[in-house]
Amino acid sequence: TPLLQAKTLTKHFPLGGGAVVRAVDGVDFAVMKGETLGVVGESGCGKSTTARVVMQLIPQDKGEMLFDGEIVGGKDLTLKEYRRQAQMVFQDSYASLNPRLTIEDSIAFGPTVHGVSKANAILKARDLLQRVGLDPARFAARYPHELSGGQRQRVNIARALALGPRLVILDEAVSALDKSVEAQVLNLLADLREEFGLTYIFISHDLNVVRFISDRVMVMYLGEVVEIGAVEELYNDPRHPYTKALLSAMPSMDPDNRTMEAPLTGDPPNPINPPEGCRFHPRCPHAQTICSKAKPALVVTASEDGTRRAACHMEIPGSGHSRAPSLEVA
């Protein structure tokens, strides 16, 4: 069952002079209880804006979200309650920490705002420090600048967990860490997900990291979902040309397993007034006449459980095969 359902979420930023940044443009997806949904795509594809709308840090222009079946911001689930149940960890480990507060005060701050006594909030903070692998006796009274980046990110994770959330959004949360520290924090995140019954949305530009931690993956391009599905199915048999190109560029892909797709060329995605039809068409080696005219629907493609979808005119729905490139689509 879904914990979060996003329905036609849309967020545009008008720039004046008629230009509009279509950062998130009618995005539909669900995150199942207890899973990790990875989100990938080049920068400018709308991953972070999607995260900020899901967190309700910025309001959507259109669309709605259901959290455990209730409308976010509706009468049964106020924004205040939703914001307790959904928490976020950012790339910049300094971003959420007040430099003037000790680590334990930073972690305890949220619960005290929500009515927990200071003494209980501090007890909770120390317990969480232990759980994220930082000895409270050594770390509770320190300040953010006295910690390494990896330690600070553990504090941010503890801080995100202090309100007892069910959904945690990790936006490039390990991207600034050294590779060895990154692996430790990824393992910690996996353990905490089990221990606390969490659901994650894990945003990263690093396809290897996303493969390691995710159950399903959503690929975004210029504010739209172009492919979504179970992680190994998607990595082993990408259906959308954009996914194929992204994966071809992955350094550690086994060369025998690489989809022999040309790496990405052409201009990087620019969400200001994106192209008509399929937004990927100016860069797509398979583009046909129809691709610049009609927007492809996100249709079910081959998958074991029917949840795999791709948005490409050349995909034959349900078959796991593409149309012959020479055939024009009706």
Binding site for ligand SF4 (CB under 6 A): 240-241, 278, 280-281, 284, 286-288, 291, 296, 312-314
Which residue number has the CB closest to Mg ion? 48
CB of 132 to ligand SF4, least distance (A): 41
Residue with smaller CB distance to ligand SF4, 73 or 277: 277
Partner that binds at residue 110, options Mg ion, ligand SF4, none, CB closer than 5 to 8 Å by kind: none
Strand order in the sheet with 36-40: 86-89, 167-171, 199-203, 36-40, 216-221, 224-230, 309-310, 299-300
Q: How far is the CB of 275 from ligand SF4 (least distance, A)?
A: 9
Closest distance of CB 61 from ligand SF4, Å: 25
The residue among 110 and 229 lying less far from ligand SF4, judged by its C-beta, is 229
Q: Which is nearer to ligand SF4, 84 or 240 (CB)?
A: 240
The angle that helices 179-196 and 149-161 make with each other, rounded to 10 degrees, is 10
Tokens of 20: 């509009």
Contacted by 48, from ligand SF4, Mg ion, none: CB < 5 to 8 Å by type? Mg ion
243 binds Mg ion (CB under 5 A): no
Indicate the residue among 48 and 288 with the shorter CB distance to Mg ion. Answer: 48
Compute the least distance from the CB of residue 36 to ligand SF4, in Å: 26
How many residues interact with Mg ion (rule CB under 5 A)?
1
Q: What is the DSSP string of 47-91?
A: HHHHHHHHTTSS--SEEEEEETTEETTSSSS-HHHHHHHEEEE-S
114: buried, middle or exposed (CB in 10 Å: 19+, 13-18, 0-12)?
Answer: middle
Whether the CA torsion 282, 286, 291, 296 is positive or negative: it is negative
State which residue, 235 or 280, has the beta carbon closest to ligand SF4.
280
Nearer to Mg ion, 40 or 287 (CB): 40
Give the span between the Cα atoms of 59 and 289, in whole angstroms. 36
- Judged on CB neighbours under 10 Å (0-12, 13-18, 19+), 190 is middle
Among residues 36, 48, 60, 93, which is the contact residue for Mg ion, using CB under 5 A? 48
Return residues touching Mg ion (CB under 5 A). Answer: 48
